[in-house]
A and B are shown apart, each in its own frame.
Chain A
Amino acid sequence: MASAQAVAAPGVLARVRRNAWLYRRCLGAHLRSTLEYEADFWIMSVSAVIAQGVGIVFLWAIFGSIPEINGWTFWDVAMIYALVVLSEGLSVLFAQGAWSMAFTVNLGGFDALLLRPFSPVLQVLSSEIGMNGLGNVALGGALLGVSVAHVDVAWTPATIALFVVLVVSAALVKVGLNTATNAAAFWIKTPWSMFAFSMHTFGELARFPITIYGIGVRLALSVVLPYAFMSYFPAQAVLSTGTAHWLGFLTPLVAVWCLVLGALVFRRGMLRYESAGN
């Protein structure tokens, strides 16, 4: 048998490229197997649209009786909402595997990942493709399309480019936070991602202008677990409203920080991994 190709110590760029390629390959393989269950695909997508749609109806009902909250109109908030749904959708579509961590780690399935020559954290993230993310992306896109027409923004190529960068960064913020919170599985030894899920639910608060909350919640959402950078802050940057809308331009940096945080927590956790006695 021919022996495994010796791979010379690759440069950073080559390594990034290899990792990205393998990530895509893993996702692709899971996409193919997921698509075999066509019914699941439609059920997931439609239920995602319904779940998110309920929130929008709720918003609409609130703004029916109050025209403005802290200076935010319905369409401003709809735009924040669209950003969350969109970035949430992207993170579900491309990194849903984060949610499998509790199960994989605490039922011993993590062994297999450690035996393959590919970064364990990337293997975890790419181990699932969340087809309900498509529903989210579709709904978020539609909501965005409608709200964009109603907000007071001059749409130039520059603002559009900024917008795209912000949406992608917002999705990466979510991926990083999902990784960090789900990596709690290395400490909390149950196969359920309860901790990460409660943090996720907490993050949902950032679907509304966070100025409506007290200082504690605001700090938590913007500093401790900066969920607000997947919605409120980038929306502010696009709308150029609020007292510190420049904060939104930091979203790409915050995304890098969240990803690093996720990787660090994961790595710390991995040192604690104890496998399972068969």
Chain B
Amino acid sequence: MRCVSLIEVAQLRKVFRRADKKPGLAGSVRHLVERRFVDKVAVDDIDLRVEAGEAVAYVGPNGAGKSTTVKMLTGVLVPTSGTVHVEGRVPHKDRIANARRVGVVFGQRTQLWWDLPVRDSLELLRDMHGLSDADYRRNLERLDATLGLAELLPVTARKLSLGQRMRADLAAALVHTPPIVFLDEPTIGLDIAVKDRVRAFVRELVAEGTTVMLTTHDLGDIEDICRRLVIIDQGRIVYDGDIGTVVETYARERTMHFSVAEAPASLAGIAARLPDAAVAEGPSDAQLDVTFDPAVVSSARVLAAVQAEADVVDLRIDEPAIEDVVRRVYAGELGAGGMQ
């Protein structure tokens, strides 16, 4: 089969079979005799194409099926049905060839050898990937510069702190400079400084033309790095498109926060002047918030309306953010199929 895109996923599905046990010991014993299972559809017929050099953010609420998708894309899991091709290869069948071309980080679980110093892990990976000494040294130097590896090299993986482990894991995943990188929650549990470092590093990878698929709950990660957003919910892709577009389409509303000299007796006056906006009390007496769609009401009109009713001391505008869209998806407002 000839593949046009770098990553091609068609009708991909993963069903896990879980034992259907009643609680308690009695339930367990009963299960021994009468084995019952329930199917859990983790990934439900998804289609996805990723072109070389793209940076894709793959987001969705807990349990949506993100990690399961990434595991199928990297050959860890065998799909229940559907197809996956990465550079034309089927990852779970051609695992070793695939492993040479991709780098994977699962933030939740380390891929280092637990009982070995980081240096030994990296050297074993060097040999498995068949890197020359010169290439290895060059790559390591560069990883050291961004991730501060030097201090971690002699430490046994099991003794690393979470942030240190993540840096070492990133190095292990990228030591062979893979052209395709999957990052599943690479910033989980990191402090702000390390998080920034990791983000800067991933941005650099993207700038160099590496194809990146990034899964995260920290939306700060994606605004920095990705231009394309894929949202998955309950195993289905509910949005796939440009991040800017999704914000314009689904997070158009802005909020103006006003501080006024004296709280107006009632907000009704302002509300009457702005029938197309929502006027609400602010966090304190002398504050009020107006939420509006700039395509319907201009900012100038909102300001004029408020000034007509109160003495404005200060104001601040909240720009729409990707978080708002995603939050709405998570809250179930924009369900499956509702956005495409």
Contacts and interface: CB of A to CB of B under 8 A. Distances in A.
A30 B115 contact: yes
Contact of B130 (A7, A30, A271): A7
A29 B112 CA distance: 13
B308 interface: no
A102 B130 CA distance: 29
Interface stretch (B121-129, B251-259, B264-272): B121-129
Contact of A112 (B78, B101, B110, B178): B110
A213 interface: no
A3 B78 CA distance: 28
Contact of A29 (B99, B109, B113): B113
B273 interface: no
A275 B77 contact: yes
B95 interface: yes
Given A29-B116, A29-B120, A33-B120, A1 B130 contact: no
A117 interface: yes
Contacts, number: 101
A5 B131 contact: yes
Contacts of A112: 109-112
Contact of A118 (B16, B128, B139): B128
Interface of A: 1-5, 7, 21-22, 25-26, 29-30, 32-33, 108-109, 111-112, 114-119, 127, 271, 273-275, 277-278
Given A5-B131, A32-B120, A275-B71, A115 B139 contact: no
B100 A7 contact: yes
B74 interface: yes
A115 B176 CA distance: 13
B138 A1 contact: yes
Contacts of A114: 74-76, 95, 99
Interface residues of B, number: 47
A108 B138 CA distance: 32
16 contacts: A2-B139, A4-B176, A5-B131, A5-B132, A22-B124, A22-B128, A30-B115, A108-B109, A111-B106, A114-B76, A115-B74, A116-B99, A116-B111, A117-B99, A127-B113, A273-B78
A121 to B, nearest CB: 12
A27 to B, nearest CB: 11
Interface of B: 16, 67, 71, 74-78, 95-97, 99-101, 104, 106, 108-117, 120, 123-125, 127-132, 134-135, 138-139, 142, 156, 176-179, 208
A33 B116 contact: yes
Nearest to B91: A114
For the complex, would chain A's binding face be called helix, strand, loop or mixed by DSSP majority? loop
Contacts of B95: 114
B125 A116 contact: yes
Contacts of A273: 76-78
Given A114-B74, A115-B104, A117-B128, 11 more contacts: A1-B177, A1-B208, A3-B176, A5-B132, A7-B130, A33-B116, A33-B156, A112-B109, A114-B75, A119-B96, A278-B67
Given A117-B99, A117-B129, A26 B124 contact: yes
B128 A4 contact: no
A116 B128 contact: yes
B124 A2 contact: no
Contacts of A119: 96
A4 B178 contact: yes
Contacts of B109: 108-109, 111-112, 278
A30 B176 contact: no
A25 B78 contact: no
B114 to A, nearest CB: 8
